[in-house]
Amino acid sequence: MIMQAHILLIDDDEDDQFIFKKALGEVAPGYICRVSNSGPEGLYELKTSVSNPEIIFLDLNMPLMNGFEFLAILKNDAKFSGIPVIIFSTSDSPADKKRAREMGAINFITKTCEIRELKRDLALLINPKLYTV
């Protein structure tokens, strides 16, 4: 059985989930996007999944457990610490970007209402060879 590549999006905003999945489907149709609505739900998804996602996209501003709290737990667990994490947040704060990098995030996307910009960002991060201007 061939395992299909997948991404885990952890974000509590349904509109952002919809836009993300639409953009991802257009730039990387071979990926499956699973969605968790909170940090605890994301941890449960990881612990019960057959395989780890190729990338986690993580919102910072969520109830129950914010993105930094999730990232700290993830990076301290040997089973999951190697999964690349990209922050996907409304924050554009240099302090948040610096903190995320220091905690192990590999990149930071500031949310936009422009799907074209999100598609460009996703294409460049997931598979730059697929992206043409």
Number of structural domains in the chain = 1
d(CA 104, CA 81): 9
Residue 123: pLDDT band (50, 70, 90) is: confident
For the segment 28-63, what is each residue's pLDDT rounded down to a tens digit?
A: 888 899 999 999 999 999 999 988 999 999 999 998
Residue 111 falls within a domain, yes or no? yes
Return mean pLDDT, the chain.
90
Contact present, 55 and 83 (Cβ < 8 Å) = yes
Residue 14 falls within a domain, yes or no? yes
Residue 71: pLDDT band (50, 70, 90) is: very high
Residue 90 falls within a domain, yes or no? yes
Domain holding 91, by residue range, is 6-127
Contact present, 64 and 39 (Cβ < 8 Å) = yes
Residue whose token pair is 């209402």: 113
Residue 1 falls within a domain, yes or no? no
